[in-house]
Structure 1
Amino acid sequence: MEGAKKTLGIAKAIGIKKAILKSKSPSCGCGLIYDGTFSGNLIRGNGLTAGLLIKNNIEVYTESNLDMLGI
């Protein structure tokens, strides 16, 4: 959780409104994340960092939904 808090602090300090994070990561994933057992199982939810950013009104995207940004 410390890394997520540091990420949020940096994002706030420089005025970030949107973030692109790694899909399916237990830290950065958004929507579906690996369950942490290294078995390849996916569960619904957001990773720690993604969830904290979202809770603080920072939009989170992954490489799999960049089209939503028009990229």
Structure 2
Amino acid sequence: MQNKILVSACLMGQAVRYDGRAKPLLHPVIETWRAEGRLVTICPEMSAGMQVPRPPAEILGGATGEEVLAGKARVVELTDADVTEEFLQAAENAVALARQAGCRYALLIDGSPSCGSDFIYDGTFSGHKQAGKGVTAAALKADGVEVFSDREIERLIDRIAQ
């Protein structure tokens, strides 16, 4: 059985990002994995009922997804609407899908308060980045899924080959 990969829907060309756009990851291995049936696509936020487009959201106070999962931080939209519950539901949905589909790996868009795995924004809506994971990436990692950012596809290819 081949290793399955949970992948951000926006990386697969679906216009599901907060701004109504996609951010397709163009790499020959994506088509190979798709043909092999390895890819399991999700937009965590849409799985939790969030709309497209939607206001940008960030984790407040320079916190990370782990802190949101622990109940110590909140996710808020630029409009000040608290969307913490939606992001927690999104993470729960992604973990459930990964388990159901047998995904050992996740390939997620970096920077997102949900999918960011190397960096997220600092909660000031000023464009400043910080090291850290989004809520879904943190939940997947805590569940034993190896999480890779879109900029780490070569590392994921090497990991799967091992």
TM-score, length basis structure 1: 0.89
Q: Which ranges of structure 1 fall in alignment gaps of 5 or more residues?
A: none
Q: CA deviation at 1:69?
A: 1.8
Contact 2:109 2:115 in 1 (8 A): yes
Out of 80, 89, 95, which is 1:2 matched to?
89
SS in 2 for 1:70: helix
2:123 is matched with which residue?
A: 36
1:63 is matched with which residue?
A: 150
Which of the pair has more CA radius of gyration? 2
1:18 is matched with which residue?
A: 105
Q: CA deviation at 1:38?
A: 2.4
1:54 is matched with which residue?
A: 141
Contact 1:26 1:36 in 2 (8 A): no
Distance 1:14 1:59 in 2: 15
Percent identity, aligned pairs only, is 37
Q: Which ranges of structure 2 fall in alignment gaps of 5 or more residues?
A: 1-87
Q: CA deviation at 1:31?
A: 2.1
Count of aligned positions: 71
- Aligned-residue CA RMSD (Å): 1.4
Distance 1:31 1:63 in 2: 10
Distance 1:69 1:60 in 2: 9
Distance 1:69 1:31 in 2: 14
Contact 1:22 1:29 in 2 (8 A): yes
TM-score, length basis structure 2: 0.41
